[in-house]
Structure formats: C-alpha cells, structure tokens
Structure 1
C-alpha cells in the first residue's frame, strides 16, 4: 500500500507540474508584446506552416525579409519558402534556428543572407536584436540553450530563458490579437514577406571589376565557418546570398572574402550586387533606402533568385491540395498588395527623378 501511495503521489505531482508548465508556456505566449515591426507575426507565422511543407527556409536580417517575396516565388516557381528574419539578426542564432526548423520542416534548401557577417558590430550581442528573434520563438530546450549561450555576462540573463519575467506586467496592454498567439503559431498572410512602398534614388556601383578582398572580423569568420561545418556535417543544401544594395567598394571586398570561404567549402554564393543589372534593378526606382529594396525591387530580386534556384538545385515541389490552397491565397493577396505598392512607388519615383533633374539643371 505504501508503495502504491508513493507511486500515486509521484504520478500526481508529475501531472500537476506538466499542467503548470503548459499553462506557464501559454501565458508566456499571450503576454509577449505584438510589435509594430511584425517580427512576432513573422516568426509565429513559421510555426503555423504545415509540417514538412516548406521547400526553402531562409535566415537573415532585413536584408532578407525586404527582398524575399515568398508568395511570388510560389507563383512563379511553385516553391514554398519562408524567411525567419528579424532586424539585424545576430549571425550567432543561425545554428539554433536550423535546429528549430528541423523539428517540423525538412527544407530541400536553406538560404543564409550574409550581410550581417560583414558588419563590424558583431562583437557585442545587442539585447533588442536578440530578443526580436528569441522572444518570438516557441519555448523549448533549443531556445533555452541558445539564449543561455548568448547571454553569458548579461545582468538579466534569466529573463531571456524565461521571458515571462520581462513581460509579466504586459497584461494591461493585451488585445484580441494577443490571444491569437496563444500557441505562438499564427499564419502569416504573406508568408513572412514585408511589403514596402517607399522610394529613394540611389547611385549604382558596378562591382564586377572589384576583385580584391577585405577580411571580416575574426568573430564573424569563426561563426561563418562553424555554420558551414554544421551544414556539411548534417548534409544540408545551403545557398549563401548577398542581397543587392548601395554597396561600397570596401563592403563588396568583404563579400568577396565571404564568397571565397563559402565556395571553398563546396557551397554556392549568390552575389546580388554582382548580378544587379541581370536582375533588372533600377537604382532610381527599386529601393527605399541605401540598404533595402522596395516592393518593385523585391519582385525583381525574387524572380532572379527563383530562376537561380531552379537552375542550380533540384527542388521537388509536390504539395498537398491544402498546402497549395494556402499558398495560392497568399499569392492572391501579394498580387493586390504589390499592385498598390508599385503604383505608389512609381508616382514617387517620377516626382523624385524630375526634382533631381531640375536640381542638376539649376546647378549647371
């Protein structure tokens, strides 16, 4: 009898703790803020995708989510893709994100956007940049391990592993939308893409004759090589991509340095700045600031990327009717959003180009 009571007590305690853990996790998801930059929506959108339905998954900063128009890639190539991207995403989270993806997806190709590897501020992990990805992931051992490793020396380290500590007072700001994230999985209407209708005239630098190299920081190179080794060890197909922007000669030489490391390891490197003309990019129309394309530029980049993937990788695109219907719906929404954005961009571009020509005339 005594043994039975002990077993019953242990079982009851285990059930209680399990229920408490589930409730605590769900509370954490609801209390997390819904942000104006849509990082919550983008990351939670990944978790809402059907198991093993994504052909391609990408990681990176705004240099990915401002460029990769996933619904358009589906419409043109029949490829399902998703960019798990947040602003200035630390490169150090990529290995953990690969592990996170592999829990529910089996991508035939990973895309790693490389611009953050060229930055000189990678030596220090910034709280807001880490939280933009970590505090939008599902609670798991993988997430806990990632933040524990990356927050060594942080004063409020515990609040990264258990972010309810940070957001427990957010109950006053809860909205109906907050409850939509109860399971931290909410379908993203554009599959992670961000539409942008802004515009800025930029200058174009032809980089095809720039062949020199400038090393990236020691820490960035170490992380790059570790990511490469992980991908080789796990037999993952990876395309490293440098998306096009108003690049400088110095920055392009850093891209050349990364390109050599990547290609020596047996992976492909797509240099968007090198192929900007082939993409049809117009630097007086297709960008909204020196570092990012607008909706028109993103469409041109995505079209080129899709053709590149088709040429160099054997991507099988068989999907269930349910998955196809979800992507068709996203493609329909993307088409409407793109048309509205493109109209605004072209109006702004015409006005800006006329003003620029008028200024040149006055200066002459």
Structure 2
C-alpha cells in the first residue's frame, strides 16, 4: 500500500467503519473518493501535509509521522457516505480542517520552535525525554509553583525549563493531572503505538432504527473550545438542528481576531443560555435532545447530575481518556497530539505539528460517530479523546503495528 495514495485513504475509511460496526462496499467508497477534490487524493505524505496548510503552521520543514492528511481524507469519506444516509451529504476535504482556524484568523501567527502556534504551550526537555506543557491561561501559570514544588515562580519560563531537565516525565504528568494542568509526554522518535479505533463504547445499546430524517433530530452541544463545537458544526451542515447550550455564568472565550472562526463553529446553531446551578432544569432541557455533545470532565458532569436518558446518544470528548478516573487529565489539542507522537522532529528535537492538531481530528471523528451511530440506531455513550484520535490519524491503517511503550 502506497502511503498517500487513494488506497491509504480507503484503508483509513474502512477502519473507521469497522470501529463503528458499519459497512460500505468498495463501489460506494470509490464513488465518494471521486467526489472529493481529485488534485489532493494521491499526494505523498509530505505533500499532503503541505496541501492541508498545516506545514505553514509548523516551525520546521518536517512532517509528523504517518500520513495524517490521508487519514482525515479517509474520515471525510466516511462522513460523506454516512451523512448521505441520514441527512444531507457532507462533502469536505478533511485535511483542510488542520489549518482552518488560522486561515480564518484576522491576526496571523508565526510559528516558533518549541512553542505552540499561539504561544501558550512549550516543549521542554526532561531527564528521560521530552514533555509538552500547555499554559494558555494566567491561572495555569499561577499553579507552576505547585507543579515545581516551589522551585519556579509564575511566568519564569527559563526557571521552568531548568527545573524540568532534572525531572522524570511520569512524575510531572501525574502531578500536573492533580493540579489540572495540561502536560503530555512525547514518545521517543520512531516509535508507533497502534490505535486501530479512536472510539470507546460505554453502555451502548440498540435502539429503534432511525426512521426520521436528521433534520428532525435535536443535537445539544455543551462542549467548548474546538473539537466538540466542530463536531456540532459538521452535524449541523448535514441538516441536524444543533443547539449550543451555554452557562449564564460562562465567560466569553472568543477573542476578536477569532470571531470568524467562532462563527464557523457555532454560527449555524441556536444559542440557549441556562443557569447551570439549576440542575433539574438543565437535566430536563438535555432530556429533550436526541444527541448530546459534551467535553467536560466526568466529575464535572457528575456534579451537575448529568447523564444520558434512555435512547439518547452522547458523544463525550476528553483530552486523554480515563473517564472514570477522579483525577482525569486535562489537555488541549497541542499537548494531546504531542503525547500521541504527532510532532515534527528537527535536529532530534520535537516541534509542535500545525495548530492544535488533535482538535480538528477529533471534531471530524466525532461527527463521523454521530452519523454512524444514528445510521445503525444505537444509543448510549461514545467516548473519544484527543490523544487517541491523533494516534489513530498517524496510522498506519489496514496493517498491524507493534505497540511501543513511552
């Protein structure tokens, strides 16, 4: 199988279909492939990475391992095929989602080595390898003294890097999890961890087969940031009625230069603002939905008393999985992609690949899951995490790879 060829995209599509318990015959897949942009279907991995726009957002002239662009085009094939069964056909080049946020931003960002595109995250050397640490908020930096056991003051980046050199990665990751900081351990160069499906089912059950069009279904989106809202936007594009549910006490996340991107994610949704302290009213509102998209940690959902109603489909998105862990790790698209190994190596130093790579990957895969599970009439909870989605996108698809531990 030639990496970057249409066959690699078809292999990724078949793997996703199998992970959802779905089938599509070869003719259907080939026809969907032909309806995609023909100029990008047979690019080698490095050229596919460039055509996606992600290379221009990376601080070195290198590509991440695998063929992420081909994987996303394979995922968009599945979205195209299954969305046509349940609603409007969604025809997109999934790889272009990797650069969508920057393309819509009014203020361009220049990639810098060792940093995320927007400057909130760093790649730092530890005693036994490399770590990706994401500190996008002032409140994150305020916790750095606790992370370093008093050795580093807030905003002292040089001291943080110096302290990190003497630390064991596992210890830092575990302490960060307790503090609610986003830290990912980057695998050694050249290692691959097999991840044949990004999906995890929990209490999934067969419901009545879908007999209503997608346009008659209600999707409630409680998620924030990028992956979950993107999934809701893609489902809305296929014809669903998507309601963006926000807390009255929730701070505004959109910065002015990102207004066009915010509109892309949520502009096609109805906005509903509720008092989340009124758990009964919130639960009654969500009970009216056919599909619910969430990205909060499990303990936050438990504190709100939120759980699926019979017959509902919930899509639960996390950073690193571990949904039942009371110390479930937090994370963002950059550090999660780094822990998955989706980094670009330059002079034996890893660099962040693109812009929060795991977010658009996860958003597309979540939309695929909504279409697929509605098509088969299944309800319950489907879980996926940013790191697992990025690991799946690396591939390779259609053949076995040995697991390699960090």
Tell me the TM-score range normalised by the shorter chain.
Answer: under 0.3
- TM-score normalised by the chain length of structure 1: 0.24
Whose Rg is larger? Answer: 1
- TM-score normalised by the chain length of structure 2: 0.22
Task: Name whichever structure is richer in helix by fraction.
Answer: 1
Task: Name whichever structure is richer in strand by fraction.
Answer: 2
